[in-house]
A and B are shown apart, each in its own frame.
Chain A
């Protein structure tokens, strides 16, 4: 029943997207996100629990407000991703801050790059922006609702961005594309069945190690990226200077150091704009 409702909510959102100008479509999607927050009680409970555990809300009332804001935000992410050309083609709508060392890696066609982010701001826009430099491969977990997944995929603009299904993710494939100078874009803030426990907002969270291990063994440059909404359909995209972890000989220590750095970047962004984060995922299990 919930899948059915989600699917029709998405169809309704798309209708609004098609009929309305971008800013109005974004507000329309935010309203639908708010309705979704009201309707999806299980995910709402997870989100409130996560927000309280992270310590970004002083009390339950504030946590609910952040959670609702985040649900509105996710609705907007969906619309913005489908109208991304409006953002990507307009420097007024996308302010970009790239450190010199990252710019050099992006502009070198023979040099691969690992770009890490989280479910913060609009990671879809970020991925599409990256693909202006070189081909980008991202790993995606299929949405829980296959009908919404199909609908979303049929509408997204991809440019040089391609998705690799999570269950088909093979390091051999990653190494090949990095060796060919492409970008591997990874989101590292979902629970990893296999991974290591790293603090996230002060609580241990099982975290994927692939980005860190690829950096260590393939010696591919690694950076953290954030794409923060500053106004409707307007973003600030920032990349961290390259994260260069010297190998100590202690693999776990090296991986942990990298993941802690990545988590610290993500935490700082979330603390600043907690309503731009996907809180409904059970990060701590």
Chain B
């Protein structure tokens, strides 16, 4: 089961896994719908978690607070999967 792609080194994969765990918590707290959050992986579409173009702004706020970083909102609203958010977080030093 991949988080964000096939080419991660073990260390990268460990980092991504930790980010995924924290991201799951954020998504769980931000969500307006019930979901099996333990089943969320990199390939999971954000839309399938009940987030749409409006509520993604809520997620963005909560993610920034959790990871203590500022993301480019224009990039965040373009993300389609959880893995893409993770990649964005990694690019920004999470």
Chain A interface residues (CB < 8 Å from chain B): 170-172, 175-176, 179, 194, 210, 213-214, 216-219, 247, 249, 251, 254
Picked from A179, A194, A210, A251, the residue with its CB within 8 Å of the CB of B74 is: A179
Q: Shortest Cβ distance from A39 into chain B, in angstroms?
A: 37
Q: Shortest Cβ distance from B65 into chain A, in angstroms?
A: 5
Picked from A176, A179, A213, A219, the residue with its CB within 8 Å of the CB of B57 is: A213
Given contacts A179-B74, A210-B54, A219-B70, 19 further A-B contacts (CB under 8 A): A171-B53, A171-B54, A171-B56, A171-B57, A171-B73, A172-B53, A172-B74, A172-B77, A172-B78, A175-B74, A176-B74, A210-B57, A216-B61, A217-B57, A217-B60, A217-B61, A217-B64, A251-B58, A254-B61
When each residue 45-80 of chain B gets 1 if its CB lies under 8 Å from chain A and 0 otherwise, what string results? 000000001101110111011000010011001100
Q: How far is B60's CA from A171's CA once the two chains are assembled, in angstroms? A: 12
Q: How far is B78's CA from A213's CA once the two chains are assembled, in angstroms? A: 17
Q: Shortest Cβ distance from A197 into chain B, in angstroms?
A: 15
Tally inter-chain residue pairs, CB-CB below 8 A: 39
Complex A-B, nearest 10 residue pairs according to Cβ-Cβ distance, in ascending order: A172-B77, A213-B57, A175-B74, A251-B61, A217-B60, A217-B73, A218-B73, A175-B73, A249-B65, A170-B53
Chain B residues in 8 Å Cβ range of A251: 58, 61-62, 65
Interface size range on B against A: 10 to 19
Chain B interface residues (CB < 8 Å from chain A): 53-54, 56-58, 60-62, 64-65, 70, 73-74, 77-78
Q: Shortest Cβ distance from A98 into chain B, in angstroms?
A: 27
Chain A residues in 8 Å Cβ range of B65: 247, 249, 251
Given A213-B61, A217-B61, A249-B65, A194–B73 Cβ distance below 8 Å?
A: no
